[in-house]
Chains A and B, each alone.
Chain A
Amino acid sequence: MDSIFLQLVVDGLANGAIYAALALAIVLVHRATGMINFAQGAMAVMSTFLAWSMWQVGLPAPVAILVTIVISMVMGAAVERLVIRRFEQGSEHTAVIVTVGLLVLFTGLAGLFWGYTAVEFPSLFPLGTLNIAGAFVSYQSLGNIAVLLLVVLGLQLLFKKTKLGLALRAVADNPESSSLSGIPVGNLLMVGWGLAAALGALAGALIAPKVFLDPHMLDQVLVYALAAAILGGLNSPLGAVVAAMLIGVVENLAGHYITIIGDDLKIAVPLIAMFIILLVRPQGLFGQKEVVRV
């Protein structure tokens, strides 16, 4: 195998890890509330700026990021409680459109408070690279992948093994029946949004050192993350991660080997892949096929 190919694959996996982090937040909201939050990236950017400000005033980066994750959880819950809940009664589409509005709003707010000049964000991992079979991998990429795998494991345990996870799944499946079983549906939607916002904050902190931080940092990543979440079946954390890695690798290889694609058209690759896969498997790579009998 030639070393360029290997390097492209390794870089693709590292990029995929980044898409995966945001995709997981999207999957989490979808699992908890049955909807897609288009503002997930913009909320994560706000969180990342918050961490950046704390770091600027002298807090060590890991502490700033941890504090931000906690604050983001509260803020995410507040967004559900104060904004989204007002639209949940109506059609599902209304709430989704509201999240598109929030995307614009939060991006604008980040610009207003922190400006549009890109700033540097500290990495949680040491500089330097590791040589694996001829390909170079930064410690940062390895660290991102490791954190990501831990998050996936944590989410699988949460959903499969805990009572909170069971309640989240129940509410996503059928809110009315869940409330008749004594589950306080509103509180669980809040928890779902809070967890997703916390995850988004973590995603932002992992991505920012790689791409610099500005209000539009996650715009493009959001497209990839959405593609990954849908490809992975929208409900499966593991599916989203695998799909994100796949997208990262395919995008890199296509950009290099298919000259007409190049760097400019790279972003079309995940979308085309999504289109083709959904034609064949509408439920996504890992999604459960809907079997509904009346």
Chain B
Amino acid sequence: MPVLELDNVTAAYGKAEVLHGIGLKVEPGGAVGILGANGAGKTTTLRAVSGMVKTGGQVTFNGRKITGLRPDQVAGLGISHVPQGRGTLARLSVRDNLLVGAYRRKDSRGVAVDLEHYFELFPQLAARRNNLAAALSGGEQQLLAIGRAFMSKPELMLLDEPSLGLAPSTAQGVYEAIAELRRHSGLSMVVVEQNAALAFSIVEEAIVLETGHVALAGTRDELMGMDAIREAYLGG
């Protein structure tokens, strides 16, 4: 059974429908990319999974229908969403940001262990654990947002353009961090990205959205073999 399945999903802001029947499948432990230009509907697709937008069709998580649930209920089931623009809790400390991620967990000892584990992986954040999140650099904030999601011990992570606004080398570092977390935890992922090369450093397959439709879908090799993809998402 897939961890996540979207079947003919539509979504609308007010009266304007912006997704017109999206299909997507993520197998346990798998990672799927969502590529597409600005405004194609990538973010909205993730928002439809998290219950942040009016949604039709069907979203199932481990076979259970989750369409219509509130964001906090979806999160409670084990889906962690790192929103576009990071969603850092600016006036909370780095440590508190991570603890907010663990809000639903009852195993306080496990939380403490994971917190230390996270700080071992990211020493530059460990040194600033008591600083306000607002004072971090863009790359550090992205690592913090991912850490917040990681602290909830999710089964599935939704990442929305983790490279947004970062220098190429910083973006590379963020993707290495994501790969590292995935190796450690074996979680499944959906990764939204405009840069196909970065996405394919993690995901094995992807869909390409165009104005609210799935225009293409395939494995890394299939998609990277297409000239159109290379031109549109690899800069020629």
Which residues of A come within 8 Å of B, CB atoms? 163, 166-167, 169-170, 173-174, 176-185, 235, 288, 290-294
Contact = CB atoms under 8 A, between A and B. Distances in A.
A290 B133 CA distance: 11
A180 B91 contact: no
Nearest to A172: B91
B87 interface: yes
Given A173-B92, A174-B90, A180-B87, 18 more contacts: A173-B89, A174-B88, A174-B89, A176-B83, A180-B72, A180-B75, A181-B148, A182-B72, A182-B76, A183-B72, A235-B91, A288-B91, A290-B90, A290-B134, A292-B134, A293-B134, A293-B141, A294-B138
B100 to A, nearest CB: 5
A181 B101 contact: yes
Contact of A181 (B52, B134, B135, B152): B152
B13 interface: no
Contacts of B81: 180
A182 B103 contact: yes
B50 interface: yes
15 contacts: A166-B96, A166-B103, A169-B96, A170-B100, A177-B87, A180-B72, A180-B87, A181-B101, A181-B148, A181-B149, A183-B72, A183-B103, A291-B134, A292-B134, A293-B135
A180 B96 contact: no
A180 B149 CA distance: 9
Interface residues of B, number: 33
B104 interface: yes
Contacts of B88: 174, 177
Interface in B69-87: 70-72, 75-76, 80-81, 83, 87
A92 to B, nearest CB: 16
A135 B148 CA distance: 55
B132 A176 contact: no
Contacts of A166: 96, 99-100, 103
Nearest to B52: A176
B70 A179 contact: yes
Contacts of B103: 163, 166-167, 170, 181-183
B165 interface: yes
A292 B76 CA distance: 29
Interface in B89-134: 89-92, 96, 99-101, 103-104, 132, 134
A177 B138 CA distance: 17
B171 interface: no
Contacts, number: 89
Contacts of B99: 166
Q: Choose among A170, A180, A185 the residue with the greatest number of B CB atoms under 10 Å from its CB.
A: A180
B92 A169 contact: yes
A180 B138 contact: no
Contacts of A292: 90, 134
Nearest to A176: B87
B169 interface: no
B135 A180 contact: no
A166 B104 CA distance: 12
Interface string B139-158: 00100000011001000000
Nearest to A177: B87
Nearest to A187: B72
A55 B129 CA distance: 51
B40 interface: no
A185 B165 contact: no
A141 B136 CA distance: 46
A8 B158 CA distance: 62
Contacts of A169: 89, 91-92, 96
A181 B99 CA distance: 10
A185 B103 CA distance: 12
A182 B79 CA distance: 9
Counting from the closest, the 5 A-B pairs by CB-CB distance are: A177-B87, A182-B75, A182-B104, A179-B71, A173-B89
A294 B137 CA distance: 8
B148 A173 contact: no
A66 B88 CA distance: 39
A138 B104 CA distance: 48
A179 B134 contact: no
B85 to A, nearest CB: 9
A170 B87 CA distance: 11
B92 A179 contact: no
Given A291-B135, A293-B135, A293-B138, A181 B100 contact: yes
B75 A167 contact: no
A173 B135 CA distance: 15
A181 to B, nearest CB: 5
